[in-house]
Amino acid sequence: MDKLLSNLTIDNTITSITNNSNDSDIVQFIKTLKIIIPTIRNNYNKNSNIYHGEKIHLTISGLIGVGKTTFVKKFSQIKDCKIFEESVENNPYLDKFYENPTRYAFETQIHFLSQRLLDYNNSIDIQLNEPVCIFDRHLIEDYVFAKTCFKQKYLTQLQFNTYKQLFDELINNIKKPDLFIFLKATPETCYERINKRKRISENGIKLEYLKTLAEAYDEFIEEYNGKFFIIILNWENFVEFDFIFNMLTSLLVSNKNVV
């Protein structure tokens, strides 16, 4: 931990990998946040020519089935946080995609991209009062899924090029996340959790797809290393994490010292 903190500078990404889900790891996570959040506030929009007010954009991410939506929903009762949940249930192509991915991959990706763009635009609306926006996946990571579909041969080269041209145009004009928290678990663990929760829309998810998705996320994290703060949190085992949200919220909305 000391080495991790000593390497922290304003422009560097923090990658904090917790090896075990226990109290000491949670304390480490909080201590890391105590440095990251003030740094974000002190250097807000330093590298951007777009004004976004004083809002902090925090993203919770991970493989399908890792438990990120449960994590995000912990914030739903906090008045100073605006939650942008992933619109899985509202995607009319998703069930069809899992049944026939080659036929419906392009439509599925374009729909998710448009929904994430809508969420992002709503997050920077000057009418939005909440100072903290928390995303259940961010627009910037939509490309991870398109890349996975292409690797799995669900998208043709032409479809992928069309998607990427649109994505690149969008991503050049948006604010990147201030803090990206990646809940990490193996594809096998996530596959087991998917089967246990038995969502109809996920019946067609294959383990091989999750493995390819995990590789794409590894490449994403490597690509964006140093461009915004990233924390990788071991989520192989669920932990009782309730108390951490009070601490995190205090840091996000009021920058208090809570530990």
Q: What is the pLDDT of residues 87-115, one digit of tens each?
A: 777 788 888 898 899 999 999 999 999 99
Mean of the per-residue pLDDT values for the chain?
A: 78
Task: With respect to residue 191, please indicate whether it lies within any of the assigned structural domains.
Answer: yes
Q: pLDDT of 171-183, one tens digit each?
A: 988 888 888 989 9
Given the residues 25, 136, 142, 178, the one annotated as active site: 136
Rounded (5°) CA angle 90-84-62: 85
- 196 Cβ contact partners less than 8 Å away, ≥ 6 residues apart: none
Residue-wise pLDDT tens digits, 186-240: 999 999 999 998 887 787 899 999 999 999 999 999 998 888 888 888 888 866 5
Distance CA 13, CA 2 (A): 16
In this structure, is residue 247 part of a structural domain? yes
Query: Which residues neighbour 40 within 8 Å (Cβ) at sequence distance 6 or greater?
Result: 56, 178, 179, 229
Measured between alpha carbons, how far is residue 147 from residues 85, 87, 160, 215 in Å? 22, 20, 8, 10
Which of 139, 112, 109 minimizes the C-alpha distance to 123? 139
Q: What is the pLDDT of residue 64?
A: 94
Indicate if 178 belongs to the active site.
no
**pLDDT tens per residue across span 136-171:** 999 999 999 999 999 999 999 999 999 999 999 999
Res 239: pLDDT: 60
Number of domains within the chain: 1
What residues form DSSP beta bridges with 179?
58, 229
Residues 39, 135: Cα–Cα separation, whole Å = 20
- Whether 177 is covered by a domain: the verdict is yes
**Within-domain flag for 7:** no
Q: Cα dist. 19→232, 236, 247 in Å?
A: 10, 9, 21
Of 58 and 162, the one with more pLDDT: 162
Is position 192 within any domain?
yes
| CATH code of the domain containing 18 | 3.40.50.300
Confidence at residue 42, expressed as pLDDT on a 0 to 100 scale: 59
* Pure H helices in 19-174: 23-42, 68-73, 94-99, 101-123, 142-151, 157-171
Global confidence as pTM: 0.79
Other beta carbons within 10 angstroms of residue 77's beta carbon come to: 9
**Does the residue 207 lie in any domain?**
yes
The reply to whether 258 falls in a domain is: no
Question: Following CA atoms 94, 99, 104, 109 in sequence, which dihedral angle do they give, to the nearest 10 degrees?
Answer: 40
Give the residue with greater pLDDT, 52 vs 109. Answer: 109
Is 153 domain-assigned?
yes
127 or 230: which leads in pLDDT? 230
The domain of 151 spans: 13-40+53-253
